[in-house]
């Protein structure tokens, strides 16, 4: 067998496998889990993974090509700052879950300590109902304690009534934006490691493109696998699904805080001599 004929195949296979492995990085999985946790369809979950992969690919290829062909050196503080942006994104993805959990705890405490009798004064209240694409209200009469429960349900329903087209696009756009940030943070490290192993710019760029393809495939498979328990929880027990959604959000929030501390304090992003090594 001709050795030269096996080199391209070896580079392609290595790039594909390394790209799929790169999709399993903890910050990647936590970010897409938080996004996909509210999806109940496996097809949509796969699309979210692909959207994240395309965003990641765009910045990795753009910045990586500049480093490979033009030997651009990324300052240490700038690279740490781009990685710090990932921490901010993780915190923002999880802050909704943290705030929601605090609100539910406070609401439960208020209802528990409330002295209102079960058969309090009657209150006229109206519910939002959907019939097809139209929403209208039906008036009902409730006692005081039940009113708070119905208001909470109506509030949740109102939050879930965006236009169908916007509802479909929002998680995809969010995943694409998160992928952009992740790709921007890892581009310098990936490109420098590729250059170390493959000094020829053309082959390095080809490897980078195949690497990104593997990342897209890997993330699509991962998001599909992650969405499965959320989908089963939603179909069987609502409280299980709610727990998974809240848990994924809190994990994203906590990991974002940890990453921010690691980069800002340990790696001295905000210090005089920042520390960064490609990995």
Q: 217, 57 in Cβ contact below 8 A?
A: no
Please report which confidence band the pLDDT of residue 147 belongs to, taking 50, 70 and 90 as the band edges.
Answer: very low
More confident position, 163 or 256? 256
Written as six digits, the tokens of 120 are 């309090």
pLDDT mean across residues, the chain: 79
Give the least confident one: 83-92, 93-102, 176-185, 213-222.
93-102
pTM of the model: 0.76
pLDDT at 71: 84
pLDDT digits 0-9 by tens, 80-111? 999 999 999 999 999 988 888 888 888 888 88
pLDDT > 70: percent of the chain: 75
CB under 8 Å to 256, separation ≥6 — which residues?
A: 87, 88, 89, 90, 91, 92, 93, 94
pLDDT digits 0-9 by tens, 55-68? 999 999 998 888 88
Residue tagged 């921490």 (tokens): 87
Give the helix/strand (H/E) hosting 184.
helix 164-197
Tell me which DSSP letter residue 75 carries: P
Tell me which DSSP letter residue 263 carries: I
pLDDT at 190: 84
């Amino acid at each position: 067998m001709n050795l030269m004929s096996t080199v391209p195949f070896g580079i392609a296979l290595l790039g594909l496998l390394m790209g799929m492995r790169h999709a399993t990085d903890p910050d990647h999985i936590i970010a897409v889990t938080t996004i996909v946790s509210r999806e109940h369809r496996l097809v949509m979950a796969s699309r979210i993974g692909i959207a994240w992969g395309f965003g990641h690919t765009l910045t990795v290829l753009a910045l990586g090509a500049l480093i490979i062909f033009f030997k651009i050196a990324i300052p240490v503080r700038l690279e740490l700052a781009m990685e710090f942006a990932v921490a901010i994104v993780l915190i923002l993805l999880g802050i909704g879950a943290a705030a929601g959990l605090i609100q539910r705890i406070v609401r439960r405490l208020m209802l528990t300590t409330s002295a209102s009798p079960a058969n309090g004064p009657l209150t006229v209240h109206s519910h939002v109902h959907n019939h097809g694409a139209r929403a209208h209200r039906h008036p009902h009469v409730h006692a005081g304690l039940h009113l708070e429960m119905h208001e909470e349900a109506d509030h949740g329903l109102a939050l879930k009534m965006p236009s169908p087209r916007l509802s479909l696009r929002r998680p995809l756009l969010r995943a694409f934006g998160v992928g952009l940030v992740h790709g921007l943070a890892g581009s310098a490290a990936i490109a420098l490691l590729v250059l170390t192993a493959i000094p020829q710019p053309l082959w390095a760029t080809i490897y980078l493109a195949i690497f990104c393809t593997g990342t897209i495939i890997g993330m699509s498979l991962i998001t599909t696998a992650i969405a499965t328990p959320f989908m089963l929880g939603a179909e069987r027990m609502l409280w299980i699904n709610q727990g998974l959604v809240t848990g994924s959000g809190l994990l994203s929030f906590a990991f974002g805080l940890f990453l921010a501390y690691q980069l800002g304090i340990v790696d001295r992003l905000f210090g005089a001599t920042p520390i960064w090594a490609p990995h």
